[in-house]
Structure 1
Amino acid sequence: MPSRLVIIWQFRHFWLALAGMDLRVRYRRSVLGLGWSLLHPLVMTIVFCVAFASWLGNGDWRSAAPFYLAGLAVWEFVKHSAVQGSLTFLRNEPYIRQSPIPLAVYTLRTSLGTAVHFLIALALAVVAAGALNTADHLTPLYAIWSVLPAVVMLIVFSWAVTALCAITNVFFHDTQHLAEVAFGICFFLTPIIYPKERLTERGLGFVADVNPVVAFLDVIRDPLLTGVPPTAAVFAKAFGVTFVALTAAVAAFAAFERRLVFHL
């Protein structure tokens, strides 16, 4: 394992160049460029504030907007890691057939692209949380020290999701479509447009307990909105989710990496 990490690091210029190329190609001749990664969460937040702000209790759009922005940033990151990650090895098939470098290199290409959009969306949520908090504009900064390691854990978790979906899709080519359907359903079962307490009130608290995305909402969104760092138990849950996903991804590479090229 350490030797594989060394090899992957040696090829860092390659996967960084691929990730940069993806961003340039995606926004080539675009008027807004990377600004499109801000437009989507902004538009969705406006819609949610108009339609669902009352679900948060006080119905105040000033508190609802950062809630939705941060929730969408986390959700879209995990979703795109799975959906786009499913096509990773198929998109990189020409490179895979020409060079025997570790396949994890190509998953990093996908992960870096989705991570850039996530960080931009999260920065927007932080700015909104500070600007719209009339009581204390510095609220998001009080717990930023606890949010930063949580963001790192989420990036690692999302890379693991990308890797697992990429490997699965090689053997089962409907993985991307199933992921899109699954995330479409799970969106409404995840406390993004409503507080987690709504699930508990309806006897569905277990849905939040088994949802890995909720663990990251608890350690990223909640501290940014309240300025209160997460408890050790909440942080440990997010760490556990990350560790399980990372272990599964590493195990999947160990089991299938040598055979994947024959199934592309």
Structure 2
Amino acid sequence: MDVRDIWSHRELFYFLAWRDVKVRYKQTALGAGWAILQPLISMIVFTMLFGRLARLPSDGQPYAIFSYAGLLPWNFFTNAVTNSSNSLVNSNNLITKVYFPRILVPTAAVGAALVDIAIASTMLLAIMPIYGVGFHASLLLLVPLVGLTALTAASLGIWTAALNVKYRDIRYALPFVIQLLMFLTPVIYPITFLPARWRWVLRLNPLSGIIEGFRDAIFGRPFNWNGLAISVAVTLILLLAAALTFSRMEEEFADII
């Protein structure tokens, strides 16, 4: 995989990402409003079910903001991975007719999802004062945390996109796997909810450290840098493995897609 070739086609990346954004909201009544409604409605449901009825802990913070802080990166990750995994199959006409680095297609799908999390973040800033959560300088760290989430989504999206070209079962299996993954990710509960001896298992999921980082930034708490370091290390390993897998399979795309 030639990095210089990818860089020389960077304008195509922007075009593909913007195309995905326009297609996603084309002929929808609410348009980009869905980027706000999805986490907002989930937050309300989670607060009622898990915050009030199940009384799950929230590290002493309002459960509504606690859950929304987890839903922001989680929804971004799931939407990015889902769209990325189907991106090559949905772009078969482009792939079979024009040469360009094919990895731009799944990564552009991840880039398009950045628009959603940017819009959804504005709702977070709007509801924080309602629940008595103040603004902190640590909120600026949400930017690199979103970048890390994007890398994590890209690593899985690149891998599943390549496999989906050859094995269309991925399209059906991925939603089920993502649904299971949610229970192994601290979206509705804090990491401290698990016994200390089992927390290392949760740490192997890079989203665990990322979501914990989101909450630390939002609530102005000290960061768990060890947890973030594990997330970065696991993400880089996944990204390298995904890039190698994609590179090996790339030559076959035009023939079997």
In the other structure, the counterpart of 2:173 is 178
In the other structure, the counterpart of 1:253 is 246
Cα distance in 2 for residues equivalent to 1:29 and 1:37? 15
Cα distance in 2 for residues equivalent to 1:41 and 1:68? 9
> 1:101 offset after TM fit, Å?
0.8
The secondary structure found in structure 2 opposite 1:31 is: coil
In the other structure, the counterpart of 2:92 is 93
Residues 57-110 of structure 1 show CA distances to partners (whole Å, capped at 9, x for unaligned) of 4899x7111111121121122222322222111111111111121101111221
* One-letter amino acid matched to 1:42: L
* TM-score, L = length of structure 2: 0.88
Q: After the TM superposition, which of the residue ranges 87-96 and 246-255 deviates more from structure 2? A: 246-255
Overall identity of the aligned pairs, in %:
25
In the other structure, the counterpart of 2:74 is 75
Cα distance in 2 for residues equivalent to 1:257 and 1:58? 44
Q: C-alpha root-mean-square deviation of aligned residues, in Å?
A: 2.4
Cα distance in 2 for residues equivalent to 1:98 and 1:21? 18
1:240 aligned onto 2:233: yes
Cα distance in 1 for residues equivalent to 2:168 and 2:27? 32
Pair 259,59 (structure 1): closer, same or farther in 2 beyond 3 Å: closer
Count of residues in Structure 1 that have an aligned counterpart in Structure 2? 255
In the other structure, the counterpart of 1:159 is 154
Unaligned runs of 5+ in 2: none
Cα distance in 1 for residues equivalent to 2:106 and 2:170? 16
Kept after mapping to 1: 8 A contact 2:72/2:117? yes
Kept after mapping to 1: 8 A contact 2:204/2:230? no
In the other structure, the counterpart of 1:84 is 83
* One-letter amino acid matched to 1:37: A
1:223 aligned onto 2:217: yes
In the other structure, the counterpart of 2:36 is 38
Matches within 5 A, 1:206-221: 206-221=200-215
Cα distance in 2 for residues equivalent to 1:96 and 1:111? 18
Unaligned runs of 5+ in 1: none
Pair 126,243 (structure 1): closer, same or farther in 2 beyond 3 Å: farther
> 1:263 offset after TM fit, Å?
2.1
Kept after mapping to 2: 8 A contact 1:199/1:207? no
In the other structure, the counterpart of 1:23 is 21
Cα distance in 2 for residues equivalent to 1:156 and 1:186? 17
Kept after mapping to 1: 8 A contact 2:80/2:109? yes
Residues 185-230 of structure 1 show CA distances to partners (whole Å, capped at 9, x for unaligned) of 22223221122222227x6434412222112112222321x21242
* One-letter amino acid matched to 1:30: T
The secondary structure found in structure 2 opposite 1:111 is: helix
Pair 57,97 (structure 1): closer, same or farther in 2 beyond 3 Å: closer
Matches within 5 A, 1:59-138: 63-129=62-128, 131-134=129-132, 137-138=134-135
Pair 71,164 (structure 1): closer, same or farther in 2 beyond 3 Å: same
Residues 130-165 of structure 1 show CA distances to partners (whole Å, capped at 9, x for unaligned) of x1352x622xx3313433222212112211211111
> 1:31 offset after TM fit, Å?
2.9
Kept after mapping to 1: 8 A contact 2:85/2:161? yes
Tell me which stretches of 4 or more aligned residues in structure 1 moved more than 6 Å: none
Cα distance in 2 for residues equivalent to 1:59 and 1:214? 15
1:198 aligned onto 2:229: no
* TM-score, L = length of structure 1: 0.86
